[in-house]
Structures are given as C-alpha cells and as structure tokens.
C-alpha cells in the first residue's frame, strides 16, 4: 500500500527526498508539499505534486508527515500541527531536536528522527534513524524504504547516537569540502588554472571515495597502498602526521557533536 506523504517545508532536503522518490517511481499524487514560498510551490507543482501553503490542511490525508524545516522552526510547526494530527507519524530531519521535544510540541509520540546529509541531493546520502517505541515496525520499515531512495540508512537504538551521526555524516560533507578548498588553493598557488585545479581535486575526491566504497580494505590500508617509501605521497602524509591531523579532525567532530548535544538540551 502506497503511503500518503506530506512534506512540511520544501527546501533542499525535502527536494532531495521527494525527488529521489519520484525517480524511484513513487506516485506523485501521493506526495504533498506544504511551503509558503510560491517558488517552492511552483517547483513541486511542476513535478506533479500537490502544493499547499497551509500545514494543517496539508497533513489531513497524510500517513507520514516529514518535518523538513530548520531546527528553530520545529517547535512552531509542531504546535501548529497538533490539532490536526490523528494517526500520522512524524519524521523530523532537524538536527539537535529530540523525539521527546517533538512529542511534547506535537502531542504525538509517533516520532522518527532522521539525520540526513546534503549528498542526498545526488542520491548518495547517509541517514541515521531513530524511532520512538510507539512507532509501529511496519511504519519504520516504510520510512526506511522511502529514505533509501536517496542513499543509505542505518537505525540506532540510542537517540543520543544521532549527535555523533550529526557530527560525522550530517556535518561531514563540509569537512571534505573544506579539504577540497584547501587543495584547490594549493593547486592554484602552483600556477594551475582555477578550473583545472577544481577538476583535479574534485575528480580525485570522487575517485578516492569510490575506491573506499568498493574495497574490502580500510582507508588506512588504501593510503598505505599509494604511499611509496621516500616518495611524494609519503612526504605529504609525514607533514600531516607531524601536524597531528587525526587529532585535529577528531576535535572538529567533537565540536560538532557538542553543538548537537547543546541544541538537544534546549
């Protein structure tokens, strides 16, 4: 049975999810997007979806409501939805907003949290999931099936683990982009044209990620395979080791996790 879906908020993450669903053959007539923006509405309508500007009206026929607004808007949206919620399950993609908070604001404890990341936009997302005990296993399976259209999914038994997921995969794309920025800057400092520098770095990142995804070896082992003794790669890696690169990355991830925990405490 096809679930009736309503997306509250039509931004990038919502677009990534419902775009992936449509690509996978999900019927557009089973998807509603609620967003006050006429631009988002026009986009949804052009894709064959139903657009509404009123959240309460948009969820009336929904089986699953996906709350895809920024964290600071979740409380307002959930309180607005409360009178209209009946048997629906809420799926929230907001970082640092707990299922307990959502349940309190919305009046329902049928809540699933999803920590997605922006590569979902290109169908290579990584999503951590946590469900309240009140959500039926069949609904959990349906949500997992929906989200798998834009990437991989993993369930966690402890909601607190989503703070770590936020720090690693949720915020993680930015860390890779940061490294890519630095490498592009280095290439340009060597006299390589900007467009060529970008191609060199982006293709190298893509290739490295593809190798890691398709290999049974660890990233450490793959790094050793391309690091010849006394060679250029060793010279670069030695400098990164001396700068304690691993500790720096760990500290950055810890800062992101601490911020997610702080958001959850509010």
Residues 47-62, mean pLDDT to the nearest whole number: 92
Give the model's confidence band at 75: pLDDT under 50 very low, under 70 low, under 90 confident, else very high.
very high
Determine how many CB atoms are found less than 10 A away from the CB of residue 13: 23
Q: β-strands 31-34, 89-92: how paired?
A: unpaired
Q: How far is CA 27 from the centre of its chain?
A: 23
- Give the pLDDT confidence score for residue 177 in this predicted structure: 98
pLDDT tens by residue, 193-244: 999 999 999 999 999 999 999 999 999 999 999 999 999 999 999 999 999 9
As a whole number of angstroms, the distance between CA 133 and CA 122 comes to 32
Q: Are 111 and 139 in contact (CB under 8 A)?
A: no
> Both tokens of residue 12?
């990038």
The alpha carbon dihedral of 33, 141, 128, 222 has a sign of negative
- Give the pLDDT confidence score for residue 2 in this predicted structure: 84
pLDDT tens by residue, 189-206: 999 999 999 999 999 999
- Give the pLDDT confidence score for residue 1 in this predicted structure: 67
Residues 67-79, mean pLDDT to the nearest whole number: 93
Could you give all domains of the chain from N- to C-terminal order, each with its CATH number? 5-162 (3.40.50.720), 172-265 (1.10.3730.10)
As a whole number of angstroms, the distance between CA 27 and CA 141 comes to 18
Residue percentage of the chain with pLDDT more than 70: 99
What's the pTM value of the predicted model, to 2 decimals?
0.88
Q: Are 7 and 37 in contact (CB under 8 A)?
A: no
DSSP annotation of 123 reads T
List, in sequence order, the alpha helices (H) in the chain. Answer: 12-23, 38-46, 55-58, 71-81, 99-106, 137-147, 161-165, 172-189, 194-214, 219-225, 232-242, 245-265
Using alpha carbons only, what angle is made at residue 146 by residues 143 and 152, rounded to the nearest 5 degrees? 95
The mean pLDDT value of the chain amounts to 93
pLDDT tens by residue, 97-138: 999 999 999 999 999 999 999 898 888 999 999 999 999 999
């Amino acid at each position: 049975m096809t679930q009736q879906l309503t997306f509250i908020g039509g931004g990038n993450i919502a677009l990534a999810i419902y775009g992936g669903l449509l690509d996978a053959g999900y019927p557009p007539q089973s998807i509603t997007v609620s967003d006050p923006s006429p631009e988002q509405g026009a986009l949804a309508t052009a894709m064959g979806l139903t657009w509404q500007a009123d959240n309460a009206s948009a969820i009336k026929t929904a089986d699953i409501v996906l709350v895809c607004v920024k964290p600071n808007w979740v409380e307002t949206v959930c309180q607005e939805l409360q009178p209209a919620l009946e048997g629906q399950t809420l799926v929230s993609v907001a970082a640092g907003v707990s299922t307990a908070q959502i349940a309190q604001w919305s009046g329902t404890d049928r809540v699933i949290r999803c920590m997605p990341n922006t590569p979902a936009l290109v169908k290579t997302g990584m999503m951590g999931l946590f469900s309240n005990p009140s959500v039926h296993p069949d609904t959990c399976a349906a949500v997992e099936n929906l989200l798998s259209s834009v990437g991989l999914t993993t369930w966690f038994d402890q909601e607190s683990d989503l703070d770590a997921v936020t720090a690693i995969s949720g915020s993680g794309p930015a860390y890779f982009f940061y490294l890519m920025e630095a490498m592009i800057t280095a290439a340009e400092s060597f006299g390589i044209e900007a467009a060529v520098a970008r191609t060199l770095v982006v293709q190298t990142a893509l290739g490295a990620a593809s190798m890691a995804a398709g290999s049974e070896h660890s990233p450490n082992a793959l790094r050793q395979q391309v690091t010849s003794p006394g060679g250029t790669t060793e010279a670069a890696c030695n400098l990164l080791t001396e700068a304690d690169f691993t500790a720096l990355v760990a500290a950055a991830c810890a800062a992101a996790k601490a911020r997610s925990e702080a958001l959850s405490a509010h």
